[in-house]
């Protein structure tokens, strides 16, 4: 998953001699380092690094190559702090999913949202994606093998997945009508019971 402007990265540097790696780590309490508008980060001792457009593994390799000048057997881990996707609509648990490793596909996102409700449509499932300030809409068929070749199968930072309701789901008017019917039926049942009680009393 390419790193984008605005992403917050958690980067950890270690080495054969742990003490020697200390200056190359962010201060304690720092939750991450933000990719600036120019696509670069400012990293301790290494200065400016252009990371936008690179994957986490490419950033790791870039930093390791730079750090070999100063450290013995450096090891770098790169994770996302703020990578998230949102799942809405006919799923059992709507909400935001945080993804520290930046790797999640649409099936995993739906599974982590408790799967589709009984009314969820498996086609089309909409993915709303913003790229370079432009919003785009993609449509995925959960019932087709073509899903695996779709550009919307692997989700990106801030993607929104929306599952539509099928025709079986009652509309708001249907629900109101059903509640009214239930209320009327209950009132009639009470009246019927009271009438029977009154008739019994009169007979006695």
Of 46, 62, 80, which residue constitutes the final position of a domain?
A: 80
Judge if 58 and 125 occupy the same domain.
Answer: no
Q: What is the pLDDT of residue 142?
A: 96
- Is 88 found in the same domain as 65? no
Q: What is the CATH number of the domain that holds 65?
A: 3.30.1950.10
**153 and 95 housed in the same domain:** yes
Give percent of the chain above pLDDT 70: 93
In a domain, 191, yes or no: yes
Q: How far apart are CA 186 and CA 196, in angstroms?
A: 15
Do 131 and 189 fall within a single domain? Answer: no
90 and 161 together in one domain: yes
Q: What is the pLDDT of residues 115-166, one digit of tens each?
A: 999 999 999 999 999 877 789 999 999 999 999 999 999 999 899 999 999 9
Q: Is residue 1 part of a domain?
A: no
Q: Dump pLDDT digits (tens) for 163-189.
A: 999 988 776 655 666 577 677 677 777
- DSSP letter for each residue of 144-158: SGGGGGSTTTB--TT
Task: Count the residues in the chain.
Answer: 204
CA 186 to mean position of chain CA atoms: 44
* Domain assignment of residue 69, yes or no: yes
User: pLDDT per residue over 58-88, tens digit each?
Assistant: 999 999 999 999 999 999 999 999 999 999 9
Q: Do the domain assignments include residue 3?
A: no
Does 204 score more than 80 pLDDT? no
pLDDT at position 138 is 96
The domain containing residue 27 runs over which residues? 8-80
At residue 58, the pLDDT reads 96
Report pLDDT for 34. Answer: 94
**CATH number of 136's domain:** 3.10.560.10
Query: Does a structural domain hold residue 60?
Result: yes
The pTM for the full model equals 0.70
Contacts of 120 (CB under 8 A, 6+ apart): 89, 90, 91, 163, 164, 165, 166
Q: What is the pLDDT at residue 171? A: 64
Find the angle CA(137)-CA(104)-CA(101) to the nearest 5 degrees: 125
């Amino acid at each position: 998953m390419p790193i984008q402007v605005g992403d917050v990265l958690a980067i950890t540097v270690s080495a054969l001699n742990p003490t020697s790696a200390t200056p190359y780590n962010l201060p304690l309490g720092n939750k991450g380092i933000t990719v600036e508008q120019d696509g670069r980060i400012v990293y301790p001792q290494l200065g400016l690094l252009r990371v936008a457009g690179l994957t986490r593994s490419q950033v790791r390799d870039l930093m390791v190559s730079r750090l070999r000048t100063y450290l013995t057997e450096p090891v770098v881990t790169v994770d996302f702090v703020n990578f998230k996707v949102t799942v809405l609509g006919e799923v059992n648990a709507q909400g935001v999913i945080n993804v520290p490793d930046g790797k999640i596909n649409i099936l995993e996102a739906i599974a982590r949202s408790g799967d589709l409700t009984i009314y969820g449509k498996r086609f089309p499932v909409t993915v709303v994606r913003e790229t370079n300030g432009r919003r785009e809409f993609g449509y995925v068929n959960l019932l087709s093998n073509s899903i695996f070749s779709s550009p919307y199968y692997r989700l990106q930072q801030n993607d929104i997945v929306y599952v539509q309701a099928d025709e079986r789901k009652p509309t708001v008017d249907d629900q109101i009508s059903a509640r009214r019917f239930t209320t009327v039926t209950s009132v009639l049942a009470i009246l019927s019971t009271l009438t029977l009680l009154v008739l019994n009393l009169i007979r006695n």
